[in-house]
Structure 1
Amino acid sequence: MGSTISTFINDFNFFIFLLFALMYSYKIVYILVAFKAKQDNEPEMKIIHPSKYAVIIAARNEELVIGKLIKSIKNQKYPEKLIDIFVVADNCTDNTARVAEEAGAIVRERFNKALIGKGYALDYMLKIIEKEYSSRKYEGYFVFDADNLLDENYILEMNKTFSQGYRVITSYRNSKNYDQNWISAGYALWFLHEAEYINLPRMALNSSCAISGTGFLVHADLIKENGGWTHHLLTEDIEFSVSQILKGEKIGYCRSAVFYDEQPVTFDQSWHQRLRWAKGFYQVFAKYGRNLVGGIFRGERNRFSCYDMIMTIMPSMLISSISIIVNGLFYLAGLFELVDGKVTIYAITMAMLKSFGWNYSILFILGLITTLTEWGKIHCSGWKKIAYTITFPFFMITYIPISAIALFKDVEWKPIAHTVAKSLDDLR
């Protein structure tokens, strides 16, 4: 009996590993493409038409940081008359609205305890702009979180990609507090990897990228076609990306447009945020999964992007959750001696250690590649860069229990306090 269970557990975990390898083998191609794209020189740009933009910031109790963001927007090397800043102070109980207004933004306050979330705040402000500021004829809308900071060339660089015809563009996401601890560094290193080893190769292969939370630009015509911001699942960013890809839109990436954001630093904050993300990914798959599968086999455009999005929003979390549940059930059965206890516990322990070793090794390699190639852009001491590369796999592996719990738990949006009030000069 024990030998049979041991064989089953080992075979099951090996099957899970092979399944992952099969589904995500294309990410190896992404890394190779990214290496080449990093070495290629940027093509000479013709004189670019400077578009007029509205910057929208959805803020909830962000009085400590929002002034720094607005200042970084005001300091852009881009015609000031072509940038208007709009802040929606969403259910705020502090001085966010006053601080934003004093910094030079157009501010509106929103109080709605029933419709909670960034998507509702964005839609609220977009409708105000359409009603009160339509004469300004904005060509695009930038979306930022209140804790962000923009490099001084950010809008100039994004405008270059916008002028190439992309109607949705994401950018290079760096961190204000990479050096704070292993949790903030785990987030930051993943976002750097996502930018340069997922979105960059997507761009190079003429596939579609995806927006990630903040730091993106959307064409005004697209917002008008959609009837505002209509995406209100727990992960409105990936929902928006998937919906546009299904419509045939190609989302672009501008690696020369750099912004910084603040990452959570406590495990409790991180746990709840990533639980929301995991639940949101399940929601997106439930709503759009069938159409994404159809897009792979029947779509005329973005067929590979549909596959890429399915791999992004579902399998890794779902399969990891199934794996941990199956291993956990056998482990409990062994503890209660419903099966051969000692043999079962030993077999599962060894199988889980082997699985952990493989996962750690793969994630360490991804983190190491990203750390080495982005070394000069990471605002952190050298020894911490190395240390946080070692802890990065532990941070990522904690997604596995989070994903398993998200399958069964009701999750609501909760704000995360931002307290890192740094300027660009502080980062430099």
Structure 2
Amino acid sequence: MVLLTVLDVLLSVVGAVGMVYQGVCIVASLFAKPVTFPEAPMDKRYAVLISARNEENVIGNLITCLHEQTYPSELIDIWVVADNCTDDTAGVVRDMGCHVVERHNLELVGKGYALTYLLDYMIDAGLSDTYDAYFVFDADNKLDRHYFEEMNKGFQSGFKILTSYRNSVNLADNWVSSGSALWFIRESRFLNNSRMLFGSSCHVGGTGFMFSKEIMKRNKGWKFHLLTEDLEFTMDSVLHGDRVGYCGNAILYDEQPVTFAQSWRQRLRWSKGFLQVFRYYGPQLIRRAVRERDFSAVDFTLLLCPFTVLGVIRVVMGIIFAACGFVTWQSQLGAVTGWSSGILLSIVGMMALAALTIIAERRQIGATNKELFAYVLSFPIYMLSYVPISFQAIFSKVQWKPIEHKG
């Protein structure tokens, strides 16, 4: 069937282009000197935005990290939106000197809606113009004490949107947390680092990023409410011609899920969010890539392309067509054999990627060599679990649910 042939060609081309691009990024990051920013006066005023839902046990760590920054504390104001909390999150952060806004809305649920509520409050109160830029963090984060000092350098170098190096506090807990942690470290070290070298736009993660007052005003606060609001924000910025910067010297520590059920639920939301963003922003990115010859648009079109979903659809369609007699079972078994070879190569490639990430960033990773060797072997299992997750994302109605943090 022509349709199956088209899908085979599309998957082969997209897969090959993606692999070559990843390879180029890795080589560039390994051998080229990373982009750094010059010293800058520490005179800008920043607002920290934190959306917290029942985070009384962990949020104090982040507030302490913010208070201990080398950047002048009088130029950092901390704003927390206690979102549908049933614990004493609001009281904890209020006692630590933070501005607190409490939100109760069980219909519009999610971090995006909480950030909208918080910024709307600040705008209505006439406080938004007080700040030069805004930082977004999750309640479970911890920061290197030089974080704001380093991000300020990037901001004063002209970047209106800036993301940072995302490390993890619990990489060594087990194979689940290590899989997620290595994925984020890989993105910082090899992708965002190389994007800076290429002069293209970087990817804003869900936490540890900042945007200027001008960006906030253009968006009338925060307007991004898809399941992956960070990715939506990135795509909107790229379509506006913004270049998202990356500051590798600003280090954030995130807490990863430690149970497979938690990780599955989190990645199901991400996978559904990717499909949502591709639906709303994919066509515009493709048009910009073609018309403007914008490399960032090409980059993020590849990022958004639902490669795993297309692969699952291809296999299912092959089975259906063979069962209906449109194609032979033999031809589809041959295709499956080819896919099996590709999967085996992918497993080897994933282990190599995990090993390379560990070697390149060994100083940033707190785990023994024995543990890291085991996590190299388990990394493909973590990644291949995206296949059923992506399949479920096609049909499931996914809602935002909080991940429990232990701190």
Tell me which interval the TM-score lies in, with the shorter structure as reference length.
over 0.9
**Residue of structure 2 equivalent to 1:362:** 349
The residue that corresponds to 1:295 in the other structure is 288
Q: Distance in 2 between matches of 1:404 and 1:221?
A: 39
- Confirm or deny: 8 A CA contact 2:40 2:153 kept in the other structure: no
Pick one of 152, 165, 168 that aligns with 1:172: 165
Q: Secondary structure at the match of 1:144?
A: strand
Partner of 2:184: 191
Q: Structure 1: how far apart are the matches of 2:104 and 2:300?
A: 34
Letter of the aligned partner of 1:281 in structure 2?
A: F
Find the aligned partners of 1:187 and 1:328 in 2 and give their Cα distance: 33
Shift of the 13–387 alpha-carbon distance from structure 1 to 2, 3 Å rule, reads: farther
Is residue 178–residue 380 contact of structure 1 (8 Å, CA) maintained in 2?
yes
- Structure 1 residue 17: Cα displacement: 4.2
After superposition, where does 1:110-189 map in structure 2 within 5 Å?
Answer: 110-132=103-125, 134=127, 137-189=130-182
Greater mean alpha carbon deviation, residues 266-275 or residues 204-213: 266-275
Paired letter, 1:178: L
Larger deviation: 129-138 or 21-30?
129-138
Q: CA–CA distance in 2 between the matches of 1:287 and 1:12?
A: 22
User: 1:275 and 1:210 mapped to 2: Cα distance?
Assistant: 20
Call closer, same or farther: CA 1:65–1:330 in 2, change over 3 Å: farther
Instruction: Within 5 Å, give how 1:66-81 maps onto structure 2.
Output: 66-81=59-74
**Aligned to 1:281, which of 274, 278, 287?**
274
2:20 maps to 1:25: yes
Tell me how large the CA RMSD over aligned residues is.
2.7
Matched, 1:208 2:201: yes
1:183-213 CA distance string (max 9 Å, x none): 1000000000000111010011110001010
Q: Does 1:310 align with 2:301?
A: yes
Distance 1:294 1:339 in 2: 35
Which residue identity does 1:354 align to in structure 2?
Answer: S
Which stretch has the larger CA shift, 103-112 or 10-19?
10-19
Matches within 5 A, 1:28-427: 28-37=23-32, 39=33, 42=36, 45-132=38-125, 134=127, 137-299=130-292, 303-326=294-317, 350-419=337-406, 421=407
CA contact (8 A) 2:40 2:156 kept: no
- Cα distance, 1:93 vs structure 2: 0.8
Q: CA deviation at 1:361?
A: 1.4
Letter aligned with residue 387 of structure 2:
I
Kept in 2: contact 1:208–1:251 (CA 8 A): yes
Contact residue 148 and residue 261 of structure 1 kept, 8 A: yes
The aligned amino acid for 1:166 is F
Which deviates further from its counterpart, 198-207 or 360-369? Answer: 360-369
CA contact (8 A) 2:275 2:306 kept: no
**1:165 corresponds to which letter in structure 2?**
G
Secondary structure of 1:291 counterpart: helix
Percent identical? 42
Q: Give the partner amino acid of 1:404.
A: F
CA contact (8 A) 2:36 2:247 kept: no
Offset, 1:291: 0.9
How much has 1:49 moved relative to structure 2? 4.4
> For the residues of structure 2 that align with 1:104 and 1:96, how far apart are their CA atoms?
13
Q: What are the Cα deviations for residues 99-148 of structure 1, in whole angstroms up to 9, with x where unaligned?
A: 11122211111000111110111111112222336287110100000000
Say whether the 8 Å CA contact 1:324–1:404 is kept in structure 2.
Answer: no
- Which sits farther off after the overlay, 385-394 or 158-167? 385-394
- Using the TM superposition, give the Cα deviation of residue 289 of structure 1 relative to its aligned residue in structure 2, in angstroms: 1.4
TM-score calculated relative to the size of structure 1:
0.88
Q: 1:351 & 1:380 partners in 2: Cα distance? A: 37
CA distance in 2, matches of 1:145, 1:372: 28
CA distance in 2, matches of 1:267, 1:139: 40
User: How many residues are treated as equivalent by the alignment?
Assistant: 406
Once residues 338 and 305 of structure 1 are traced to their aligned partners in structure 2, the CA distance between those partners, rounded to angstroms, is: 41
Task: Provide the C-alpha distance between the structure 2 equivalents of 1:77 and 1:55, rounded to a whole number of angstroms.
Answer: 15
**How many Å apart are 1:53 and its aligned residue?**
0.3
